[in-house]
């Protein structure tokens, strides 16, 4: 093969790669919702648990993720195009793994949070997405992390998975 032919092939391959990646350079999830939804109202999640800090923590994380991933603006209770509402249904922390010596030496614990969530289109008066048992959990080592830190990790997983679940259907 001549140097000119190799260069020509390399230039064409490079051009194809540039064109392929240029198409991927802008990714937006806003097109995944109905076009008329521009604003969302997200009230503080309700709470059926004894964990008083969870509703605000979950609401803040979900709001941040929803606004950045769905490219929406916050709307007020009366005029928003959509509403994302939720309830913390259950929270529990339990032993997950035990030591190898056969005793009751717990080496890992599990934190689980269960939510009830609904995303509603207020313009068309319809529920777009709903899950009454939306849950995630993590295992943590009490010597390395507190229960509340582990709960914070669960909240981040819930927010990520919630946004993905709502946006994937579109």
Pairing of strands 46-47, 106-121: unpaired
Per-residue pLDDT tens digits for 2-23: 656 556 665 554 545 444 554 4
Residue at 152 is within a domain: yes
Q: Which domain holds residue 87?
A: 31-168
Helix (H, G, I), strand (E, B), or coil: what is residue 128? strand
The tally of domains found in the chain comes to 1
**Apex 77 CA angle, 71 and 82, nearest 5:** 40
Half-sphere exposure in the Cβ direction for 60 (13 Å, CA): 6
Which H or E element spans position 125?
none
pTM value is: 0.76
Residue at 159 is within a domain: yes
Per-residue pLDDT tens digits for 118-155: 999 999 999 999 999 999 999 999 999 999 999 999 99
Residue at 97 is within a domain: yes
CATH of the domain at 36: 3.30.160.150
Residue at 48 is within a domain: yes
Residue at 61 is within a domain: yes
């Amino acid at each position: 093969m001549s140097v000119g032919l190799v260069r020509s092939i390399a230039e064409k391959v490079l051009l194809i790669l540039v064109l392929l990646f240029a198409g991927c350079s802008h990714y937006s999830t806003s097109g995944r919702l109905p076009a008329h939804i521009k604003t969302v109202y997200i009230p503080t999640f309700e709470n059926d648990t004894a964990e008083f800090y969870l509703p605000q923590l979950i609401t803040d994380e979900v709001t941040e993720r929803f606004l950045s991933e769905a490219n929406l603006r916050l709307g007020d209770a009366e005029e928003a195009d959509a509403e994302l509402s939720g309830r913390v249904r259950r929270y529990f922390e339990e032993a997950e793994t035990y030591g190898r010596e056969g005793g009751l030496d717990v080496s890992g614990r599990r934190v689980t949070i269960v939510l009830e969530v609904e995303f509603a289109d207020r313009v068309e008066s319809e529920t777009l997405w709903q899950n009454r048992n939306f849950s995630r959990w993590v295992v943590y080592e009490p010597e390395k992390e507190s229960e509340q830190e582990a709960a914070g990790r669960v909240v981040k997983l819930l927010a990520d998975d919630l946004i993905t679940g709502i946006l994937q259907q579109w």
